[in-house]
Amino acid sequence: MAKRLVIIDTDCGIDDAQALMMALAAPDLQVLAVTCVFGNTAVENVCQNVLRVLDVCERQEIPVFRGSAGPLVGARRTPGDHFGTDGLGDVFKDQDPQWEEKIQSEHAVNAMIRLVTEQQQQVSLVALGPLSNLALAVRLDPGFPQKLRDLFIMGGNMEGKGNVTLCAEFNFAMDPEAAYVVLEDFLCPTSLASWEYACRNALTWDFFQELIGQNFPAAVFMRTITSRCWAFSQESSSSSSSSRDVPRNKREVFFGPGFVSYDAYAMAACIDGGVVTDSVECPVRVELQGSLTRGMLALDRADELKKSHAVRVLTRCDPDRFRRMLLDSVRLPRDRV
């Protein structure tokens, strides 16, 4: 059986690294390229982070392309330091002096269009960061979405609960116009792993310790990049802690404690459709005008928008299948067939 062809568009933070390793570990997947976009950190850091992951997994043959350094409109928002200023927990002091030579000279958007055009209806696109590269692709080639096999997005929200603004999820808030363009113009089969989907399918911290506690190079890498990151601290997610010095993020307030590797949920859905056990199909739209709701995803369950295209919004996953995929992702490198 031919392997499923995939392009991964990422703003490589810690959870993106986990998702990328998940794709590299999947025996039925062939990663054609990794395209980089700003988001968790500057696009230059994203490129270096992707190269680090590929080095750890001994997959340096996969081409990496630099893409959008900012949103379609306006100045780039400050991403904060959820995953550290460099996106990987600020644990690496060394920098490869030749990293730019390892990045392809072709722009990520051009590469994306070229690769999909060469193999129409065969390539799945997994978008793990702001959707700027995808929006530019459809503007350069309006037929681009129809050439895709399907699209998987990590981003947006189902209930107006935001994690960086009052009502918007991070990836959509970083480039609302791009999110709007993609969800209006991409008419290919589209699956969306929202912020709430990830949070409601959180895993235990005991599993997280099992995940990073192995001796494979990829597991050691994950243990290293999460070692100083508050987002991967059990203390930060302890519902029993009463100390005012312990920060509580919005996920903990809304959904309770648990280990959540956000981007891995979208990747898992691409790798194995059986990991998704429930979803909602309906038209969606990204709000651009509201002073409090800019970047929020609206689900049109009542068909008020009269759109012809529906999106599959994921709601529930099989935790056992998801755990197995995560465990496989850190058992790298290993012999490849």
Residue whose C-alpha is closest to residue 133's, from 199, 54, 39: 39
- pLDDT confidence band for 257 (50 / 70 / 90): confident
Question: How much is the pLDDT for 239?
Answer: 44
Least confident of 46-55, 61-70, 246-255: 246-255
- Phi, psi (rounded to 5 degrees) for 91: -100, -10
- pLDDT confidence band for 247 (50 / 70 / 90): low
Query: Is residue 55 annotated as a catalytic residue, yes or no?
Result: no
- pLDDT confidence band for 236 (50 / 70 / 90): low
Question: What distance in Å separates the CA atoms of residue 217 and residue 219, rounded to the nearest whole number?
Answer: 5
Is residue 41 packed enough to be buried (19+ CB in 10 Å), middle (13-18) or exposed (0-12)?
buried
Query: Domain ranges in the chain?
Result: 4-202+258-329
Least confident of 89-103, 105-119, 307-321: 89-103
Catalytic-role residue among 9, 11, 15, 86: 11
Residue 67 has pLDDT above 70, yes or no: yes
Residue 95 has pLDDT above 60, yes or no: yes
Report percent pLDDT > 70 for the chain: 93
pLDDT for 288-320, tens place per residue? 999 999 999 999 999 999 999 999 999 999 999
Mean pLDDT for all residues in the chain: 92
Q: Domain 4-202+258-329, what fold?
A: Inosine-uridine Nucleoside N-ribohydrolase; Chain A (3.90.245)
